[in-house]
Chains A and B, each alone.
Chain A
Amino acid sequence: MSDRLPGFSTLAVHAGAQPDPTTGARATPIYQTTSFVFNDADHAASLFGLQAFGNIYTRIGNPTNAVLEERVAALEGGTAALAVASGHAAQVVVLQQLLQPGDEFIAARKLYGGSINQFAHAFKSFGWNVVWADPDDVASFERAVTPRTKAIFIESIANPAGSITDIEAISTVARKAGMPLIVDNTLASPYLIRPIDHGADIVVHSLTKFLGGHGNSLGGIIVDAGTFDWSTGGKYPMLSEPRPEYHGIRLQETFGNFAFAIACRVLGLRDLGPALSPFNAFMILTGIETLPLRMQKHCDNAKAVAEFLAGHSAVSAVNYAGLASDKYNQLARKYAPKGAGAVFTFSLKGGYDAGVNLVSKLQLFSHLANVGDTRSLVIHPASTTHSQLDDAAKIKSGAGPDVVRLSVGIEDKEDLIADLEQALST
């Protein structure tokens, strides 16, 4: 056995998957079952006590989902992963392991709108208090740290404008403060950025986007980097203290460098319940096999489209980190040298009406609220997702009345440019 390191594309196809022992099936079977038969009473007791390897019930684990988990853990360079029903579910499960009521976490102000809402409102009712910081100002994270802060949360490539976050700088703040850095890597995917290589302790994804990649299945995942020591200072009792629901087991002591992923499974997923359907896991796994091919095409197309828009007379500004003139181009070259992703915004000289007009005229781009599909997508935030905000608030969140967001797909770039050309000129 050689200890040769396979490349990213090999892992994208093979990691976690082997022929089925019973049937020899080469594609990963969909184990569409709620539960699994025990060998005997002793086996059942061992499984429930976390003492033996094996399946119990699909809310806790499922063989199809396990392949997906190992695949993404391998692609991200983590020790273990846990798949859940959505990206939102991943965030709830992660923070449940880290925060007690009254605790705080620091989050970058530039995030997916759904995350801002979840953090500001839903989590408030759990007593988890978000403190916002500016991802373009690392010192603002440092200033936000208090004795109650338990984690820092950022996006690698941030919504809505595809800006690039200085992960290493913020990870230094987290390390100094003795807390884990959580990175939402949805818009980059591990093909473009592997946050663990830059100091992330936990990576979360909406699998719904580029990893699944085909706009057909919801899913989320949590990857444990195996880098954080949960045992010191009693700050993270879910991991360091004996768990009454498992005969006094201490998860960090028992599971070492993948204890966080286990905590998410046996304390989070088991008790909160947002399990991923094995069918969705299968669809997402199939998508991941082509992630390197798709992601490169997404990025190449996005750059061509951004360059076209930057030269168009109806366009006042393009925010794409892949353009040499962009504010985030330096960070993009450092963190995402293969491409700056495929989600970005641009502004129209004609303002709100021009935005509404554009989305109604486009023929190939689909007007909908998602990103990371094979198909090209467009949304005019001011008239849709951000319509409840006043103009000042829209501008502050990067969704001013003149702003349009694209998620560039893997069609032929000439066709995408032609579609934008006709819609902008009519």
Chain B
Amino acid sequence: MNHDAYPDNYIRSILNSVKSIAMVGASPVNVRPSYFAFKYLAQRGYDMIPVNPGHVGKDLLGKPFVASLRDIGRPVDMIDIFRNSSHIMPIVDEALALDPLPKVIWMQLGARDDAAAEKAEAAGIKVVMNRCPKIEYGRLSSEISWMGVNSRTLSSKRPPAPTQGMRLSLNRMSVGGGETAASDRAAKNKSEQS
């Protein structure tokens, strides 16, 4: 997989197929991005599991925190890693020890570890890096368009008025794969420099 630019169909098929998401680094602080990404994905119907050893015994929006991936105790479709690039590898190693394996490992906006991604992909796991699932869900459903974001999708269909808990259709026609061409190039140049 080219991790500089993901085709929309790749992201779409992940967000359409996964049901449970374990979020590593989920924060109970309600102004942290991990908190509101967790909340948004829960509101869109995903089965969310907060993973953070510092908060075991508490819960996040009614879901009990677990200390680590192996403490989840049931199969999970996707691991969403809300940690810096330097903390990715041990979490991927932990994910690779799960049975059954997760189908997807997703690293948040700003997080990227190509070696970890290669390892996960070798085990047959789909990997997304340096993206936010909330933004991608909002983009492909065009829910994010309220703030002038280019969803890079078109639709002539009448959508339902979204309500809480409703899964939205992500199956709009794509204007192009991945990000816009210029932002792709910028991301690629940046990753080559670092």
Contacts and interface: CB of A to CB of B under 8 A. Distances in A.
Given A61-B148, A78-B180, A226-B186, A1 B33 contact: no
Contacts of A257: 179, 183, 186-187
B179 A226 contact: yes
B194 to A, nearest CB: 11
B187 A63 contact: no
Contacts of A258: 149-150
What interface size band does chain B fall in? 35 or more
Given A14-B156, A79-B149, A253-B109, A53 B183 contact: no
B80 to A, nearest CB: 15
A323 B146 CA distance: 43
A100 interface: no
Interface in B143-194: 143-152, 154-162, 164, 171-177, 179-183, 185-187, 190
B81 to A, nearest CB: 15
A310 to B, nearest CB: 37
A63 to B, nearest CB: 7
A79 B179 contact: yes
Interface in A26-65: 39, 46, 49, 51-55, 61, 63, 65
Interface string A48-91: 01011111000001010111011001100111111100000000
A39 B164 contact: yes
Interface string A12-32: 001110111110100000000
B132 interface: yes
A3 B33 CA distance: 30
Interface residues of A, number: 60
A22 B154 contact: no
Given A21-B161, A225-B183, A5 B148 contact: no
Interface of A: 1-6, 10-11, 14-16, 18-22, 24, 39, 46, 49, 51-55, 61, 63, 65-67, 69-70, 73-74, 77-83, 196-197, 225-229, 247-249, 253-258, 261-262, 265
12 contacts: A3-B8, A3-B9, A3-B176, A18-B158, A19-B157, A19-B158, A66-B145, A79-B179, A226-B180, A227-B185, A227-B186, A248-B31
